[in-house]
Amino acid sequence: MSRFVTFLKWFFTVLTLLVGGFFIFVFARQHKTYDAPYPDITASTDSAVIARGEYLVFGPGHCSGCHSPLEYQARIAAGERLPLQGGFRFPLPIGDLYSPNITPDSTGIGKMTDKDIARALRFGVGYDGRPLIDFMPFHNLSDDDLQAVISYLRTMTPVRKEQPAMSRNLLGKIIWALAIEPVGPEEGVDIPKSVTPDTTAVYGEYLANYVANCRGCHTERDLKTGAYIGEFYSGGFAMPSSLQPGKAVVSPNLTPDSETGKIAGWTREMFINRIRQGRAIEISEMPWDQFKVMSDNDLKAIYAYLQTLKPVKKANGPTIIDL
């Protein structure tokens, strides 16, 4: 019996040390930092560049949908160009994430250089070296479009509004320590100096994957890490609703599968008209207010690209589910 008691003492001592060591490691990694190159990009005062940036920010890039508080959404939908002071809450399994202030105030991007902003968008590394959760799909944005976005943001009215840091729960602290790393440009894809807007599938691919982030929401993902766990554009991503806690909206399959593809059989005109109609499901997380103001040519390009996707047979069930 005494040997058994001694064994238990040693077992629990070792277990305590292992568990304690693990949590010391986890908490020590809460302030981890990374390095990444600074793109050679600076803001321009050219009116055409700024206009392109404004279009991207309030249109396909949908920055205004995430970097505005909930109470501003209706005004933005009505066409107001409000400063992007952040504060939109994203309820995630690892904690609550709040979008930051991206106006040129010291509580926003005023404390960042142009190259700091360019690095954050392209390589997912904050100005202080922290990894950024991969909510922004702009890693492969062309140099000219990246410059345009930064140029427009610099012209916005500064708003003094410090937004809360992400509140990570215990699971979030563990995931942060073990799995959250910066995400940079897609492997094997060359970042273009510029892109020429047109109605081709090639330009549509650029918009859908790297600007509008259609792929990011219409592909099943792990909400704890953001990793893709489904086939691209086959839907099934259950996004917790910011408008109705306890509910999630499941993204539809956008591949041209004849049985399960949401837009299979739609004409180009049907696709454009649907985007122009805006929000039909009140708690939808899709940035309808931004997408409905996209140009006809951009929507034609995205439609052309979606028609080239590999059909994936995947029925995703109800659109709204309980969490």
pLDDT at 2: 72
Residue from 201, 209, 204, 215 nearest 185 by CA: 209
Calculate the alpha carbon distances from 82 to 53, 79, 194, 295 in Å. Answer: 15, 9, 28, 20
Per-domain residue ranges for the chain? 33-189, 196-323
pLDDT digits (tens, 9 = 90+) for 58-75: 999 999 989 999 888 888
Alpha carbon of residue 309 to chain centroid: 22
pLDDT for the residue numbered 244:
84
Determine the pLDDT at residue 20. 81
Which pLDDT value is given to residue 276? 95
* Nearest Cα to Cα of residue 105 among 147, 47, 162: 162
Cβ atoms of 302 and 212 within 8 Å: the answer is yes
Q: Which residues pair with 99 in a beta bridge?
A: none
Q: Give me the pLDDT at residue 9, please.
A: 75
pLDDT for res 223: 81
What's the predicted TM-score (pTM) here? Answer: 0.90
H helices of 69-184, in order, are 73-77, 114-123, 143-155, 170-178
Can you give the pLDDT at residue 7? 65
pLDDT for res 161: 94
Ranges under pLDDT 70 in the chain: 1, 4-5, 7-8
Contact (Cβ atoms closer than 8 angstroms) between residue 37 and residue 123: yes
